[in-house]
Each structure stands twice: as C-alpha cells, then as structure tokens.
C-alpha cells in the first residue's frame, strides 16, 4: 500500500468500491489469472451493458489475464474489443497509449503475430488520434504518478492512459476515484 500521511482516512465521498472490483485486482496482483480473467470478464460485460466508459479497461485486464494463461485467442478477443470500445467512444488517446503498451507486452511474451495485429489496429485509428483534442494535464512523459496503484480499488495506474481532471489530478479508470500525482 502507498504511504499515507498521519490521520489520513479514506474520504467518505468514495466509499462504494465494489468488492468484486477489489478482488479482481487482487487476483491479478497475486498471479491468480484464472480467477482474475473470470472476474474482469464479468465486470466488463456489466460495464458494457450499462455503457460505462470503464468497460474497455476491464476488457483489457481480462485480455491480459487470458494472455498470462496462454489462452491467446480469447485474450486477443478481449484486447481487440477493449481497444475498439475506446475508438467507439472517441477515447483515441487511451486507445493509442493502451494499445502501444499492449503491443510491447505481447512482443515481450514472444507473441509477435499478435503484437503486430494490435499494432495494425492502433494504426488504423491514427488519423482520428491525431485529430482528437489534446488531453488535459501535463504532457505525457512528465506525469509522475504518486502511486502505482489506486488507493481505493487497488487497480494499476498507467498515468498516460487516464482521464485528467486538472494538471495534477487524474481519475482512476476502474473506480473513478481521484488519483493525485506529484508536482
């Protein structure tokens, strides 16, 4: 857990983190990918049915868990679906940054063909990416996360893939809690 100042308590404004979400992140952290995949698939479907903007993040987590299990075909289905949901909702910056991270992760796992497929998917959207407005917050590469994981739900924080409220505050894509970053 990240260090907190003395007397810091979880703010009452964000008490309703679903236990299923916290458990899903825990399974992932513990390397229990079978449980993590099942949990994120359920969260992804629920979020998608309710048209929640966090649905693609759940699909990417589910895909990542299936890839860890070497269930490459179903993993790729989830990864493609997550990235296409970013495009469908106009979140091109998230598509580009998450897609680029996944390309590198697949390549590092020796999944060259799959890595190229995701790379092609990202590149198909390059015109829209370059035309979409610049994100708020500091420039990518100058964002220093205070924590690598969300204080509230335990989700992994990729600072370049997040929504920014202002220059120093981003929102956890999994639970919508604020994640403060260092100056």
User: By CB under 5 A, is residue 57 in contact with Zn ion?
Assistant: no
**CB of 36 or CB of 153, closer to Zn ion:** 153
**CB of 25 or CB of 78, closer to Zn ion:** 25
CB of 180 to Zn ion, least distance (A): 13
CB of 179 to Zn ion, least distance (A): 7
User: By CB under 5 A, is residue 37 in contact with Zn ion?
Assistant: no
How many residues touch Zn ion under the rule CB under 5 A: the total is 8
Strand partners, 164: 170
For residues 46, 48, 51 and 53, what is the CA-based torsion angle, rounded to 10 degrees?
Answer: 100
- 3-state SS assignment for residue 163: strand
Name the H helices within the chain.
Answer: 19-30, 33-49, 55-68, 72-88, 92-108, 112-124, 126-131
Which one among 64, 122, 172, 181 touches Zn ion, defined by CB under 5 A?
Answer: 172
Q: At a CB cut-off of 8 Å and minimum separation 6, what does 49 contact?
A: none
Which one among 55, 150, 162, 181 touches Zn ion, defined by CB under 5 A?
Answer: 150
Which one among 33, 40, 96, 174 touches Zn ion, defined by CB under 5 A?
Answer: 174
Q: How many CB atoms sit inside 10 A of residue 35's CB? A: 15
Which one among 55, 79, 103, 175 touches Zn ion, defined by CB under 5 A?
Answer: 175
**CB of 92 or CB of 174, closer to Zn ion:** 174
CB of 113 to Zn ion, least distance (A): 33
Q: How many CB atoms sit inside 10 A of residue 47's CB? A: 20
Looking up tokens 């335990």, which residue turns up?
A: 154
Which one among 78, 98, 152, 160 touches Zn ion, defined by CB under 5 A?
Answer: 152
C-alpha closest to that of 67 among 54, 86, 48, 80? 80
Contacts to Zn ion by CB under 5 A? 150, 152-153, 155, 172, 174-175, 177
């Amino acid at each position: 857990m990240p260090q907190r100042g003395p007397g810091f308590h979880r703010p009452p404004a964000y008490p309703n983190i679903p236990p299923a979400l916290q458990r899903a992140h825990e399974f992932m952290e513990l390397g229990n990918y079978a449980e993590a995949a099942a949990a994120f698939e359920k969260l992804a479907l629920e979020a998608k049915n309710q048209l929640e903007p966090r649905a693609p993040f759940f699909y990417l987590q589910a895909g990542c868990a299936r890839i860890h299990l070497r269930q490459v075909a179903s993993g790729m289905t989830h990864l493609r679906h997550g990235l296409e949901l970013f495009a469908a909702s106009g979140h091109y910056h998230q598509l580009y940054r998450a897609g680029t991270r996944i390309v590198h992760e697949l390549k590092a796992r020796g999944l060259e063909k799959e890595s190229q497929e995701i790379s092609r998917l990202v590149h198909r959207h390059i015109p829209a990416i370059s035309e979409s407005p610049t994100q708020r917050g500091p420039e990518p590469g100058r964002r220093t996360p205070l924590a690598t994981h969300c204080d509230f739900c335990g989700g992994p924080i990729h600072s370049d893939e997040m929504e920014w409220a202002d220059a120093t505050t981003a929102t956890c894509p999994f639970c919508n809690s604020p994640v403060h970053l260092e100056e």
